[in-house]
Amino acid sequence: MTLKTWVIGEVATAADLNTYLSAQVVGVFGSSAIRATAIPSPINGQVSYLQDKDHMEHYDGAIWQPQFSAMYVFQVTGPSTAVAAGSSALVSVVLPVSRFTTAPIIAGLATTGAYLTPVVNAVTTGTATIALVNNGAVSQPATQTLTGVAFMMSTGTATG
């Protein structure tokens, strides 16, 4: 998508609006039915706001998808002791409660432990507890790095 920067005093023509502006704004619609009438052929990456659902959606080239209303990428270290073979240890991730009004979805978990599998144990608006399960035959050292993403979908969606 080509962008245009106007200078003071330059006239914005109808062609400018159709070419540049219409693809660079968030359209506000009363419902998805009204949006479908107004945008019969959406383009990949286009964004809209639905008033009846109170959330934003983006077009992925095939269908309209809900936008995240909050996201937080985290990296923590733990546990404080080694994880014996065949056992697990819990690691707590403190989440910014100012971003989440409900318990977020936790995804994209990875750890530096060669045989440790991160598994979501519990989630609240302020904390995610992740179990590091040792699937190996040897003990895994303490203080592994755990990374992941917490996100909350827009309210009014299946997961929000």
Q: Are residues 38 and 78 in the same domain?
A: no
Q: Which strand (E) or helix (H) includes residue 78? A: strand 68-78
Structural domain range at position 51: 14-66
Q: Are residues 81 and 23 in the same domain?
A: no
Side-chain-side CA neighbours of 31 within 13 Å: the count stands at 2
Q: Are residues 22 and 54 in the same domain?
A: yes
Per-residue pLDDT of the chain (160 residues; tens, 9 = 90+): 567 788 899 888 888 887 777 667 888 999 999 999 999 999 888 889 888 877 788 898 999 988 877 788 999 999 999 999 999 999 999 998 877 778 888 998 999 988 999 999 999 888 999 999 999 999 999 999 999 999 887 654 444 4
Domain boundary among 29, 50, 66: 66
Q: Are residues 115 and 135 in the same domain?
A: yes
Q: Are residues 47 and 107 in the same domain?
A: no
Q: Are residues 74 and 147 in the same domain?
A: yes
The predicted pLDDT at position 155 comes to: 53
The predicted pLDDT at position 49 comes to: 87
Whether 3 is in a domain gets the answer no
The predicted pLDDT at position 157 comes to: 44
Q: Are residues 50 and 115 in the same domain?
A: no
Q: Are residues 108 and 119 in the same domain?
A: yes
- CATH number for the domain spanning 87: value is 2.60.40
Report the number of distinct structural domains present in the chain. Answer: 2
Q: Phi, psi at residue 159, to the nearest 5°?
A: -110, 10
The predicted pLDDT at position 55 comes to: 76
DSSP strand pairing (116-123 vs 105-111): unpaired
pTM for the predicted model, two decimal places: 0.61
Q: Are residues 108 and 34 in the same domain?
A: no
Look up residue 131 and give its two tokens: 């179990």
CA nearest to 90, candidates 50, 139, 144, 137: 144
